[in-house]
Amino acid sequence: MSSATPAAAPDVTNPDVVLVVDFGAQYAQLIARRVREARVYSEIVPSTMPVAEMLAKNPKAIILSGGPSSVYAEGAPRLDRALFEAGVPVFGMCYGFQLMATTLGGTVDNTGAREYGRTELHVSKAGSTLFEGTPVEQSVWMSHGDACSAAPEGFTVTASTDVVPVAAFENDEKKLYGVQYHPEVLHSTHGQQILEHFLYRGAGIEPSWTTGNVIEEQVAAIRAQVGDKRAVCGLSGGVDSAVAAALVQKAIGSQLTCVYVDHGLMRKGETEQVEKDFVASTGVNLKVVDAQERFLTALAGVSDPETKRKIIGREFIRVFEQAQLEILQEDGPEVAFLVQGTLYPDIVESGGGTGTANIKSHHNVGGLPDDIEFELVEPLRQLFKDEVRMVGQELGLPDEIVQRQPFPGPGLGIRIVGEVTKDRLDLLREADAIAREELTAAGLDREIWQCPVVLLADVRSVGVQGDGRTYGHPIVLRPVSSEDAMTADWSRLPYDVLAKISTRITNEVADVNRVVLDITSKPPGTIEWE
């Protein structure tokens, strides 16, 4: 078959959509997530989208995100005044707040009133639409150098800080609202309540969006995209691919064949778990391909992480193409689609978000070859990890799959810093299995986001084991806590658990004589080492 351009499933029009206009904010995706937590569907659109196109989506409300620019600076993002005159409720946050103020005749300037981090907010209109039922003194998260000193005509100032006279304003008649701070972050103690007040009271939206809606909408979109053709889906053993496959299986049934590529880069026992748990819960048609030697040969002598990712992505596609040829020998329509468990954070980290840089080539996004011969079906590309888990539960997948810690598609290949060899993979598999066993025994599986175990294959350190000196590899433990992988902090695991993991690894895994703990947050470090 001829090459096809990868494409996402068609957009599903949601009658109650809230648009989040992204002005290059680090928190734009978090705003969308918070709106969904309020059971209201949200979509992110770039600030460069014409207002007419935004309004053509018939949004129930529009939220303007923060951003790094100064509203009065040359080249700063702007918005057509028509947005505020269209009758659609609008909520501005930080930069969005200042943009609303200046566009409608208020005053924003550099007064020297810089506020970064936790700040005390003084609510002056306790019964207002936004602040009803919240304390008159509350902690909020600020991040601004400019300040609004005068609200636009017709607006009521509803909050201030010690240095900023206009930290929030409201215009109920025109349904326009704004706050200088970031209500979407957890540091703003009543931020979610304020956001929900805007959605429910200011915009009059009923909270009705659920994971059931996601399933219903995506099933319709998948059927429309695939039609009467067939699709293949690569099961990696992780949550994302399993939920994506289960969702597509629900949509097109026997038109889907799942392919599990045993590339030799999986963790201990994962191949058996995929074959047993996933097939038992979905009844999907599963084809297992043993490609261990192929991947090891392709990765031989390669240490650069980006090169490894691209090789693994390329080989995955080639294996799928071979599987396609075999499936085509069976009776049935053309196999034209490849299902992937791409999530929204994957898109952002691969440079797909407004104003973002390419942090790394993701195996579902940037690692695919240009001559891919499938059209992509990505039913999860607008979801966050916690939403994916909820969809999986709704679809009836077992907890062993749904609650599994995230695991990258390139597998242990990017958890070996250095060349990937069979001996190194076997070593890392054993160390990883020990860490997972002890975290489970301590009841910490749900308290941490994930715990990558990394082998520093090109590093050796001196140790003493028994009565002699050793020259072994270090193992790195990377336990992190996160909500959606966009940001993360290192998990403060109990010392006795860390000690048990270290003792077992150094005693039970040959050629390892040192275990170290990575205590770096994200940013500056990513969760995976490569």
Pairing relationship of beta strands 61-64 and 18-22 according to DSSP bridges = parallel
Residues contacting 400, CB < 8 A, separation 6+: 273, 277
Pairing relationship of beta strands 176-179 and 168-171 according to DSSP bridges = antiparallel
For the sheet containing 176-179, what is the strand order?
42-46, 18-22, 61-64, 90-93, 176-179, 168-171, 156-160, 115-123, 137-144
As given in the structure block, the two tokens for residue 245 are: 């496959």
Residue 184 annotated among the catalytic residues of the structure: yes
Give the DSSP letter string of 303-337.
Answer: --HHHHHHHHHHHHHHHHHHHHHHHHTSSSS-EEE
Residues 346 and 362 sit within 8 Å (Cβ to Cβ): yes
Residues 8 and 379 sit within 8 Å (Cβ to Cβ): no
Q: Which of 115, 170, 184, 196 is catalytic?
A: 184
Residue 196 annotated among the catalytic residues of the structure: no
Q: Which residue has the tokens 């689609």?
A: 337
Rg over CA atoms, the chain: 25
Q: Which of 115, 144, 182, 258 is catalytic?
A: 182
Residues contacting 19, CB < 8 A, separation 6+: 42, 43, 44, 45, 54, 57, 59, 61, 62, 63
CA distance 440 to 438: 5
Residues 418 and 438 sit within 8 Å (Cβ to Cβ): no
Residue 115 annotated among the catalytic residues of the structure: no
Q: Which of 94, 148, 233, 258 is catalytic?
A: 94
Distances (CA, A) of 151 to 12, 162, 177, 203, 228: 38, 17, 11, 21, 57
CA distance 313 to 329: 25
DSSP letter, residue 522: B
Active site residues: 94, 182, 184
